[in-house]
Structure 1
């Protein structure tokens, strides 16, 4: 007979753990920070090479009944012993570093791996510097690069954290050497280093010439250079800069069009959205969070993207819906969870105004609204909309107001006065409005409405709507208003079976809509996404091409796209939204900083 009891090992562990809890048949006591842990030597030795060596060698601990363990916290030891006796690793987020340190000392590879994975997966602006310093102390190169990459992706925000000022010179240098810093200007990098110096100026000012070798002189403003010179302690001091002639990754933003559509029968459109750079005729993709159901997206003034809506997961026959808010990480081409909205909303009006994000409508009655503060990750309610809106509406911002447009009428919210008021109604009540702001006015069209319609323009100076283009009408099944590179375009598609596509450019000086001479560069890549009766929006945002995905769905190992053209996707694996290892390029930057430099004298 040859049979196996699959429950045997579980039963043995469970019984041993019960013996430990009752201190029965234990043969050693671990003393950790004044607390005693009765244990079984055989269990400890079976899962820890550290204890196995201790108990099988000629050390004094072999015969000792009590053994003092140093450099391990009481909570970490309790967690480790629970794992040893149950095979289950459970700990609180604020204890992961202590548990990982204990696991490294006791040589528990599984615990080390899982705690490191957890820390890599839960990096944020408040903890990433601490994780970086911890990984450096442990010599964990994978965790070091992961935390360094995350800091690069949120550099300006992380540089304001108190922990940033605790960095060692070598770690600070490794950060400011990075080519992939997501920052708007080289001055931001310099100012972060200056804050680090001023935190302990007496000791750190001597490091200024060393740090200067990481600054890219060509991109530093004259005012910031003067500030650096003023900090030099001697008049003959030389500040040597890097002469790298390319900007950081965050400075390589290009205005793009994001085509957002909801197709409930095609999961592909829930995973990616196309980004298009009309200036170069290049297409990319941006990843989307999974399981979305009715979402809205907005771009802020500093190029941050936020997505709000509802996620949907299935548990057996039941559907579980959750209210969600995400912020886009440009470097990682991924979305990070933020504080969920107070009220569940589907396809709300999501707008940005003066440092805040507003979610308008989308609730069960389409009459509530709330405001999000990115600086503290908090939502607060704002006054209700005076009258419930229909499900089809749009919201835009102009000056200090939010305008909500629907067929029932138009309302505006004053961010200064924190109140709603009635606004002028459109001449033709829109069934499915789409609106954009352009040069101080609102332009709105009736998307999916009558077969022939006009684009109406609202001027806040006189509070009046009028038909733009001298009343010119357009026939379409699908149409999108698209601000692009300082111009306003209208794209129309008529008949989905044999589509007729037209592009019009608005001429403000003559109040007319004209067909541009070369429309293909804007129109061609968008057409496949335009199908009648699907909800489609166009968002203009400044994106980083090298961080985006390949519309062909893959990038080969040589960094070329699937169609044989050279790809911009140096930093991103487009098929998975993961960032490739760029440590080689960072090492090259260090060499360039050392070998190629420009010198400034204080007395220039």
Structure 2
């Protein structure tokens, strides 16, 4: 007979743990920070080479009944002993690093590896520099690389953190040598190094020649080179730069159209969204944080993307995070400081170094300002009149002001004067407003009733209808800016006709019309070529949910590629004429 009791190992461990708890048959006591831990040498030696060597190699501890363990905290020892006797690892988030250090010393590999992975998964702007220093001290190459990669993804922002200035030269140089630094120019990378030097000018200026070898000469501006030469610590010293002709990853961005669709907990979960490159006709996908409801997206001049609104997890429970920033290198969204007022939806815009979140609260009236440099929200003057939650808002920026458009009225907020004022309402109040700024004016339309497009002139506070546009039955429409021109993309389909607004089934045949605005004649005309401008990802515009299109420079190699783009292609109106017959 050959029979195995599968539960026997667990039973034995369970009984040994009960013996430990009652201090029965224990043969050693570990003294840690004044607390005594009765243990069994055999159990300790079985999970830790540190203890196996201590108890089997003729050391004095072999005969000692009580052994003092240094450089390990009481909590960490209790956690590791619980693991040794149960196989289960449990610890509070703020104790993970302490447990990790103890596991490294005691050579408990499973605990160390799990703690290290946890730390890698929890890297953020507040801890990644300290984690790099910690990993460097431990010699943990995997955690080192994870920390460096995270810092590389936010090198400009990270260099403003006080902890970054504490890096040693040996820790800074590998960072500045990386190809995957997300920085829009080599000059910005030079400024990162100069900021580090300035923190301790007298001591660190001698390291300028060593740091210059990290800077790629081909991409440094003439003015920046002059500044570097002026800071040379000695006239006898010659600054030598890197001759690498490889651009940093952050300098390889391509302007793309990004379509983000609002979801609710009761619809399909979408963990990614399409990014379309009009210059090549290629499609990519960007990961998303969670399903979203009432979201808003803003893009900064440096192509940083922020998302605000109410987020849901897969179980349809509300997330604790309502504000995210996109990480280009990691193709992921990272939570940032939550807004002061909890919002189910809001409009988010960027202007002059700050982000503004307006509306979305119970009264649809509050407004807040976010400072990316310190990850902090502050309240600003509320809107002069509340807008009901049933009304959709859109917001655009022009000069130093933010303009709010809704079917209950239009307003502007001066960021210079920190005050609101009532502006002229649109001639036809929009139920689903969408607007863009173009050549000093605002162009707005109602996506639910595309009979007209209006132009707002802030100089004389007037709205002007740009001719009557009466489309055939359509699914959705969106105003887009591309290469300095204004376009209107209209999505059609074979579906039930409901006024001018059609909500087709997914199986409906879709086609599009693209119109380019002609400023001289104030009219919309079809351009000669539309294939590379009009996105083929039109299914994201034909669902009964809000969809926004933003334009930003994205890094192709960091995005995902669909296995096939065939399912994303859609014929133009001309190409689809035959199928309509």
Contact map agreement 2:269 2:291 (CA 8 A) in 1: no
Match of 2:533 in 1: 522
Shift of 1:481: 0.2
Match of 2:272 in 1: 272
Shift of 1:2: 7.7
Match of 1:312 in 2: 312
Match of 2:22 in 1: 19
Equivalent residues, number: 549
Shift of 1:140: 1.9
Shift of 1:176: 0.9
Shift of 1:99: 2.3
Q: What are the residue-to-residue correspondences of 1:17-96 with 2, within 5 Å?
A: 17-19=20-22, 26-32=26-32, 36-96=36-96
Q: CA RMSD in A?
A: 3.0
Shift of 1:313: 4.0
Shift of 1:500: 4.9
Contact map agreement 1:13 1:86 (CA 8 A) in 2: no
Shift of 1:290: 2.8
Match of 1:223 in 2: 223
Match of 2:420 in 1: 420
- Cα distance in 2 for partners of 1:128, 1:361 equals 34
Match of 1:507 in 2: 518
Deviating more after overlay: 326-335 vs 405-414: 405-414
Match of 2:386 in 1: 387
Matched residue of 1:195: which SS? Answer: helix
Which 5+ residue runs of structure 1 have no aligned equivalent?
555-560, 564-604
- 1:332-353 CA distances to partner (integer Å, 9 max, x unpaired)? 0011122333444344222222
Scaled by the length of structure 2, the TM-score of the pair is 0.86
- Cα distance in 1 for partners of 2:69, 2:29 equals 10
- Cα distance in 2 for partners of 1:17, 1:443 equals 75
- Cα distance in 1 for partners of 2:530, 2:336 equals 39
- Cα distance in 2 for partners of 1:54, 1:532 equals 67
Matched residue of 1:387: which SS? Answer: coil
Match of 2:183 in 1: 183
- Cα distance in 1 for partners of 2:542, 2:314 equals 28
Q: CA 1:363–1:477 in structure 2 vs 1: closer, same or farther (change >3 Å)?
A: same
- Cα distance in 2 for partners of 1:85, 1:221 equals 62
Matched residue of 1:258: which SS? Answer: strand
Matched residue of 2:533: which SS? Answer: helix
Match of 1:358 in 2: 356
Match of 2:499 in 1: none
- 1:54-73 CA distances to partner (integer Å, 9 max, x unpaired)? 11221111112332333434
Residue 548 (str. 1) matches residue 551 (str. 2): no
Q: CA 1:200–1:30 in structure 2 vs 1: closer, same or farther (change >3 Å)?
A: farther
Which 5+ residue runs of structure 2 have no aligned equivalent?
495-507, 569-581
Shift of 1:403: 2.0
Shift of 1:300: 2.0
Match of 1:600 in 2: none
Shift of 1:222: 2.4
Matched residue of 1:240: which SS? Answer: coil
- 1:505-557 CA distances to partner (integer Å, 9 max, x unpaired)? 12334433222111111125233433264432211222222211113379xxx
- Cα distance in 2 for partners of 1:198, 1:262 equals 46
Matched residue of 2:298: which SS? Answer: strand
Match of 1:170 in 2: 170
Following TM superposition, the consecutive aligned residue runs of length 4 or more in structure 1 with deviations greater than 6 angstroms are 1-4, 265-269
Shift of 1:284: 1.3
Q: Which has the higher contact order (CA 8 A, sep 6+)?
A: 1
Shift of 1:305: 0.9
- 1:450-482 CA distances to partner (integer Å, 9 max, x unpaired)? xx51110111111111112x5555554411000
Match of 1:214 in 2: 214
Matched residue of 1:101: which SS? Answer: helix
Residue 479 (str. 1) matches residue 482 (str. 2): no
